[in-house]
């Protein structure tokens, strides 16, 4: 049976097919899956690291989608940033995710949300779509020497954090839990990439 992603564009419609070798597939029993979608050019090694980490963290299959381009309408010239909520809306317009599929977009542009100077990412709470930005996770953004280990550790934390919201987890008061709100990069560096025991237990209930 074919599982179909219908990707819409102004010029044409494309169908990407994933084949499942069974005679019948009940949508309620489909394997939970995370789809990584680069927005623009994202380094392959970054996607490799995220794919491996997210598969282990959420114990599910992770697939990589072809890159898509960010909408120019999402850019705010006055702020020189991209509006994260607008990007989420565009993802909805471009992609139709299956019931147990979660889409995580990775962008290398500076994001903001209403009332905030910037955001590392945004997610639909209990929904299917999330986006993270890796721009402010780089040491070079702060005119510091680049450090790949520090950078990818931050990226993993932000990816897990936003996906945690998609699964239904709220912010956690434990400063070391990955679900703790990062008001600054110091908060991200301080917390771990793992869920605290309370959030882990809640997550296990939510994904059953």
Q: What average pLDDT is seen over the chain? A: 85
> Given pLDDT bands bounded at 50, 70 and 90, which one contains residue 22?
very low
- Residue 28 pLDDT > 50, yes or no? no
- Residue 79 pLDDT > 50, yes or no? yes
> Given pLDDT bands bounded at 50, 70 and 90, which one contains residue 130?
very high
Q: CATH: 3.40.50.2000, 3.20.20.70, 3.40.50.300, 3.40.390.10. Which one for 2-206?
A: 3.40.390.10
CB 4 within 8 A of CB 74: no
User: How much is the pLDDT for 70?
Assistant: 84
pLDDT digits (tens, 9 = 90+) for 97-113: 787 899 999 999 999 99
Give the burial string for 56-93 (b: 16+ CB within 10 Å, else e): ebbebebeebeebebbeebeeeeeebbbbbbbbebbee
User: How much is the pLDDT for 178?
Assistant: 98
User: How much is the pLDDT for 32?
Assistant: 85
Catalytic residue set: 162
Ranges of each domain in the chain: 2-206
């Amino acid at each position: 049976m074919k599982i179909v992603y219908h990707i819409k564009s102004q010029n044409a419609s494309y169908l990407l097919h994933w084949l499942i070798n069974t005679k019948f597939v009940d949508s309620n029993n489909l394997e939970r899956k995370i789809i990584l979608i680069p927005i623009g050019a994202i380094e392959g090694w970054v996607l490799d690291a995220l794919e491996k980490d997210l598969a282990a963290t959420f114990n599910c299959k992770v697939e990589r989608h072809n890159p898509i381009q960010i909408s120019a309408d999402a850019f705010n010239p006055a702020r020189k940033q991209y509006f994260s909520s607008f990007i989420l809306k565009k993802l909805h317009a471009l992609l139709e995710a299956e019931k147990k599929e979660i889409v995580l977009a990775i962008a290398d542009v500076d994001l903001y949300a209403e009332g905030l100077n910037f955001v590392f990412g945004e997610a639909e709470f209990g929904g299917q779509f999330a986006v993270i930005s890796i721009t402010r996770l780089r040491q070079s953004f702060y005119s510091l020497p680049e450090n790949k280990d520090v950078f990818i550790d931050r990226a993993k934390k932000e990816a897990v954090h936003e996906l945690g919201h998609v699964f239904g987890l709220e912010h956690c008061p434990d400063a070391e839990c990955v679900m703790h709100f990062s008001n600054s990069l110091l908060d991200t560096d301080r917390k771990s990439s793992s869920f605290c025991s309370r959030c882990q237990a809640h997550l296990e209930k939510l994904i059953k």
